[in-house]
Structure 1
Amino acid sequence: MKISIDHKSPIPLHLQAEELLRNMIKDPQYADGKLLPNEVDLAKQLAISRTTLRHAINKLVYDGLLIRKKGVGTKVAGVEVSSRSNNWLSFSQEMQARGIPVKNFELHISWVLPEGPVANFFEIAPDKKVLKLERLRGRQEGPFVYFVSYFHPRVGLTGEEDFKRPLYEILETDHSVIADLSKEEISARVADKTIAAKLEVESGSPILFRKRFVFDRGDRPIEYNLGYYRADSFIYTTESRREQ
């Protein structure tokens, strides 16, 4: 493919470089994990500074389209999925927005007595049952995330809902409950035998573990969610702006 930048164009060089990179990663030769040209050579070929090129690369890394490894190089992110913590959506809504088809490998619904952390979060008695929703989800090629969600009895879920629909759409449309605030804890873990079997990895493999605490517009707890992600198939991106 032709690799060049129009230096006479009013479009800033870093934006042209970003668009060029977006076109490059669509090329089949990079789809199998082949490294992109190194920064020095590519910047020289485009007649731009390494700083300008790095600006464009960083944007695509942030968007989850490229992976950069120090001492190795930059390559297309491939099957990895990126999730951002700002402007959060349900998993189904986020994957739909990214054009990623989602397959449900398992879906289990049950009524259980809440364990201590769940009962404490919901501020309910431990002998009051809550709805538990378990979902194993991923691409057609295989699962990459296992979700376990518990819901406050106040929400009104019966277990008869069609949970193939986006979760927060169900809550809002069917039960007039609007998920408004999400607080999250993210950590690294090793997969035990149960999680390893579900995610199709070796027992002891590294996984990304995320707790999500969801509240309604009245700051009342509505969902306690645990997510177990394959470390080789998921990137979690956060965004923050420094206060002036």
Structure 2
Amino acid sequence: MKFSIDHKSHVPLYIQAEELLRDLISKPEYADGKFLPNEVDLARQLAISRTTMRLALNKLVYEGLLIRKKGVGTKVAAMSVSSRSNNWLSFSQEMQARGIPIKNFELHVSWVLPPEPVAHFFEINADKKILKLERLRGRPEEPFVYFISYFHPRVGLSGEEDFKRPLYDILDKDYMIIATLSKEEISAKAADKFIASKLETEAGSPVLFRKRFVFDQGDRPIEYNLGYYKADSFIYTNESRRE
């Protein structure tokens, strides 16, 4: 594919290059995760310096439209999935409501001794095993979130449940437990080797880390959830209304 810009135009070259890139990434052959031609080839075709080309590329990287990896190249960012903090749905229900197909890449159920923060949250002894649920989920083409959930023994989960069903649907319909309140802590961190391997990214890459503390109708703790989201594939939005 040939690219060109107007060198006689009063519009600066880097802005023309930026607009050309915006048009380029909207085309089917480059959209949603495809690699662009390399910077040198683009600059040569447009008859501009690499510095000018880099200015245009960096603008789109800053906006989250492109992803650059040293030694690999520049690719179009896949459309980000977003989640709203004031929308009380399970992950499966929320993605279904948005029309986003979700695949379970891994699902592991085990009985473990609770880590200290979990035991403290549940107000239970650390020598009693509890149910741990691990799920690696994402779009059909790649995972973008790794969940770890611990459940209070009071909930009564056996570990034999069909966890391909929406989690809070299981709690509500099978155990008469309604998840009513969620308190969350959100931070950014670098992926360690384990999380990087799960999310198919590089160690040290940014991830969105979310702790979720879930309570039932009686404000009793029922779930301690950790979520690791691939930063370039997920947006977490928060909405507040002033009364």
Structure-1-length-normalised TM-score: 0.70
The aligned counterpart of 2:130 is 130
Q: Deviations over 1:101-139 (max 9, x none)?
A: 110000000000001100000000111111000000001
In the alignment, the residues of structure 2 paired with residue 102 and residue 78 of structure 1 have an alpha-carbon distance, to the nearest angstrom, of: 15
Q: Deviations over 1:163-220 (max 9, x none)?
A: 0000000000011100000000000000000000000000010100000000000000
In the alignment, the residues of structure 1 paired with residue 87 and residue 192 of structure 2 have an alpha-carbon distance, to the nearest angstrom, of: 32
Q: 2:223 aligns to what SS in structure 1?
A: strand
- Uncovered stretches (5+) of structure 2, i.e. residues with no partner: 1-24, 33-58, 66-75
Deviation at 1:73, TM superposition (A): 6.7
In the alignment, the residues of structure 2 paired with residue 205 and residue 162 of structure 1 have an alpha-carbon distance, to the nearest angstrom, of: 33
Q: 1:179 aligns to what SS in structure 2?
A: coil
- 2:27 alignment partner AA: Q
Deviation at 1:236, TM superposition (A): 0.2
In the alignment, the residues of structure 2 paired with residue 79 and residue 166 of structure 1 have an alpha-carbon distance, to the nearest angstrom, of: 24
CA contact (8 A) 2:64 2:77 kept: no
The aligned counterpart of 1:241 is 241
The aligned counterpart of 2:150 is 150
The aligned counterpart of 2:162 is 162
In the alignment, the residues of structure 2 paired with residue 74 and residue 233 of structure 1 have an alpha-carbon distance, to the nearest angstrom, of: 10
Between structure 1 and structure 2, the one with the greater Rg is 2
Deviation at 1:87, TM superposition (A): 2.2
In the alignment, the residues of structure 2 paired with residue 199 and residue 73 of structure 1 have an alpha-carbon distance, to the nearest angstrom, of: 22
CA contact (8 A) 2:185 2:210 kept: yes
The aligned counterpart of 2:100 is 100
Q: 1:118 aligns to what SS in structure 2?
A: helix
In the alignment, the residues of structure 2 paired with residue 216 and residue 81 of structure 1 have an alpha-carbon distance, to the nearest angstrom, of: 27
Q: 1:227 aligns to what SS in structure 2?
A: strand
- 2:214 alignment partner AA: V
In the alignment, the residues of structure 1 paired with residue 152 and residue 61 of structure 2 have an alpha-carbon distance, to the nearest angstrom, of: 48
Whether 1:91 aligns to 2:104 is no
The aligned counterpart of 2:199 is 199
Q: Deviations over 1:41-86 (max 9, x none)?
A: xxxxxxxxxxxxxxxxxxxxxxxxxxxx799779698421000000
In the alignment, the residues of structure 1 paired with residue 94 and residue 133 of structure 2 have an alpha-carbon distance, to the nearest angstrom, of: 19
- The CA RMSD over aligned residues, in Å, is 2.3
CA contact (8 A) 2:131 2:151 kept: yes
Q: 2:194 aligns to what SS in structure 1?
A: helix
CA contact (8 A) 2:136 2:143 kept: yes
Structure-2-length-normalised TM-score: 0.70
CA contact (8 A) 2:64 2:232 kept: no
The aligned counterpart of 2:209 is 209
Deviation at 1:32, TM superposition (A): 2.1
Identity, in percent, stands at 75
The aligned counterpart of 1:223 is 223
The aligned counterpart of 2:112 is 112
Deviation at 1:242, TM superposition (A): 1.4
Deviation at 1:155, TM superposition (A): 0.3
The aligned counterpart of 2:31 is 32
Q: 1:29 aligns to what SS in structure 2?
A: coil
Q: Deviations over 1:18-59 (max 9, x none)?
A: xxxxxxxxx9638827xxxxxxxxxxxxxxxxxxxxxxxxxx
The aligned counterpart of 2:190 is 190
- Uncovered stretches (5+) of structure 1, i.e. residues with no partner: 1-26, 34-68
In the alignment, the residues of structure 1 paired with residue 114 and residue 157 of structure 2 have an alpha-carbon distance, to the nearest angstrom, of: 16
